[in-house]
Structures are given as structure tokens and as C-alpha cells.
Chains A and B, each alone.
Chain A
């Protein structure tokens, strides 16, 4: 049975603790998403006035704070790392 070695080769170049941290964070997000999906299914009957009010408040908050919503450090695009040109020693005569 052919073995896909590319994944293990790629991962071998990364600190295992970093991989664990990344996977933990991703699974944490996924868990929360799945819980939310379950809640939506359970509450599928009627969206209550309270839930509607909460969504409206969230929407108003978003549009009223539009500038700050996109201003955190994680929203900044870092320039690509500068490429250092090789140092050329002056030719001696």
C-alpha cells in the first residue's frame, strides 16, 4: 500500500509543539462551530425577539465601529521580508 510521505516530511521540519498548538487552535475553532450548529438545529423553530435584538445590536456595533474593527495588529499586512543584496567586496588594484 503506497504511503504518502510528503505530509510527514513537511511536518518533520516543524517543531512538534508548534504543530500541536496550531492543531489545538484549529480544533478549538471547529468545536465551537459545531456546537453553534447544534444550537441552531435545536432552536430551529423560531428566532426569538431576544435573539433578533442581539443580532441587530451586533450589526449596529459592527457598522458603528467600522474603523476599529479592522485596525488590530492582526489586520495589518506586513511587507515581505527584504531581500539582502550580497555584499561585494571592492576590487583591489
Chain B
């Protein structure tokens, strides 16, 4: 059981790491569509990566549910993602679109916060079964 949890945690955190990694301003070719705006690039990467990570996780749980039935905390973790992922993504997209339309310092700060929330949600989803084995209350 413990080994399986560690394996699952490694998979989820690996996806979180690659999909929400940060680019800095110097990493972006200014000729690209982001025009050197690392914040916009990082936001789009975090949003799309978060969705892909959530989708892979719930699909994996759904495919192997029968075999995983003796570890109910895994389904509980997946169900929390199913219930809240869209809210997390929608909130990040709303702030991202506000920054796209009005790239003000205030909106930039809000977008940085939204990215942090998304990353925290991913980490929290992984921690549900890695640490406590039981779901935590969603905000």
C-alpha cells in the first residue's frame, strides 16, 4: 500500500513539475506569439498542464477502479479533482483573459496568484492520498 502510494505520488508530482515549470523572460524568443511575455507563457503552460495532469489522473483512476477499490482514498482524491478541477481551471482562465486584454501590473499580480493557486491545487490533489489517505475539505 505504502509503495503504491509513493508510486502514485511520484507520477502526479512529475506531471505537475513538467507541466507547470516556469520560463523566464530570457527563455522566450521575442519573435514568438508571446512576444517575450514570460508571465503569459507560464500561465498558459500552467493552465493547460494542470488540465492534462488532472485528466490523466482521473482517467487512470477510472480505468483501474476495480483493482484500486480496496484503497478508497484514491477514488476520493480523484473525485475531488472531478468536482473542483473545472472551477480551478475556469478561475485561472478568467484571470489570464483579463491579463490578455489589460496587461496591467495589477492583473499581472492577479495572474501570478492564479498560477500559484493552480499549482497548489495540483499539489493538494496529490497530497490527499500521499499524506492522510482521506480527502480534505475543498475551498
| Residues of A with C-beta under 8 A to B18 | 33, 36-37, 40
Known: A73-B62, A74-B63. A14 touches B1 (CB 8 A): no
Smallest Cβ distance from B106 to chain A, in angstroms?
A: 22
Residue from A10, A36, A44, A74 within 8 A of B1 (CB atoms): A10
Evaluate contact between A47 and B79: CB separation under 8 angstroms. Answer: no
Complex: chain B residue closest to A35, CB-CB: B18
Which range holds the interface residue count of chain B? 35 or more
Residue from A13, A29, A44 within 8 A of B70 (CB atoms): A13
Residues facing A in B8-58 (CB within 8 A) are 8, 10-11, 14-15, 17-18, 21, 23, 27-29, 31-34, 41, 44-45, 47-48, 51, 55-56, 58
Residues of B within 8 A of A (CB): 1-4, 7-8, 10-11, 14-15, 17-18, 21, 23, 27-29, 31-34, 41, 44-45, 47-48, 51, 55-56, 58-64, 66-68, 70, 79, 82-83, 85-86, 89-90, 93, 97
Residues of A within 8 A of B (CB): 4, 6-7, 10-11, 13-15, 18-19, 21-23, 25-27, 29-30, 33-34, 36-37, 40, 44-49, 51-53, 55-56, 58-59, 62-63, 66, 69-70, 72-77
